[in-house]
């Protein structure tokens, strides 16, 4: 977390409680924290409070990455738990990519979209975000590849068809 995490456009964040929270040891407490971060992040996006959304999604990524590494290090046999966490971290990266695009942080948005795809290559929005960020970076050929992949995963998506 950076020195400025938790500082929104108007000053200190209303989400300092979550942003400064330590990662719980208990899986159910970890899951509850992730769900609260997801809920607040969504509310920030809706209200266009992108700096707080960026910080919240970053905290969620930190927690989920820690849970994934912990499960892999401990050689946990519950592959569905690891898979679920990878899908969740892909969603958080994808959401943060959207937020960073809205903030004009195009390179960071592309990096987050790439991370989302690497965690869950079947997540349509990850490919869509990668396409949007690639297009914003001026890489129209990569954007087209990403949009086509998203459309391959969801061939009936009308909004995606407009991108291609």
pTM: 0.87
Query: Taking all residues of the chain, what is their mean pLDDT, rounded to a whole number?
Result: 88
Q: Tens digits of per-residue pLDDT, 1-18?
A: 333 344 444 456 788 888
Residue 105: how many other CB atoms lie within 10 Å? 18
Q: Tens digits of per-residue pLDDT, 5-63?
A: 444 444 567 888 888 888 888 888 999 999 999 999 999 999 999 999 999 999 999 99
Tell me the H-state helices in the chain: 16-19, 27-46, 50-73, 79-102, 106-119, 124-136, 140-153, 158-163
pLDDT at 75: 60
**126 CB burial (10 A radius; 0-12, 13-18, 19+):** buried
Q: What is the band of 77 on the pLDDT scale with cuts at 50, 70, 90? A: low
pLDDT at 101: 98
When comparing pLDDT for 2 and 132, which is higher? 132
């Amino acid at each position: 977390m950076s020195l400025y995490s938790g500082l929104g456009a108007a000053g200190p964040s209303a989400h300092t409680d979550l942003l400064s929270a330590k990662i719980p040891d208990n899986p159910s407490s970890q899951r509850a924290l992730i769900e609260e971060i997801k809920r607040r992040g969504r509310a920030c996006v809706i209200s266009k409070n992108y700096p707080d959304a960026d910080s919240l999604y970053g905290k969620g990524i930190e927690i989920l990455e820690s849970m994934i590494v912990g499960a892999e290090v401990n050689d946990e046999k519950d592959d569905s738990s690891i898979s679920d966490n990878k899908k969740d971290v892909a969603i958080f990266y994808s959401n943060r990519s959207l937020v960073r695009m809205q903030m004009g942080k195009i390179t960071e948005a592309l990096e987050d979209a790439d991370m989302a795809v690497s965690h869950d290559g079947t997540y349509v929005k990850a490919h869509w975000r990668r396409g949007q960020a690639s297009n914003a970076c001026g890489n129209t050929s990569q954007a087209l590849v990403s949009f086509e992949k998203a459309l391959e995963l969801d061939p009936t998506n009308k909004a995606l068809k407009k991108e291609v």
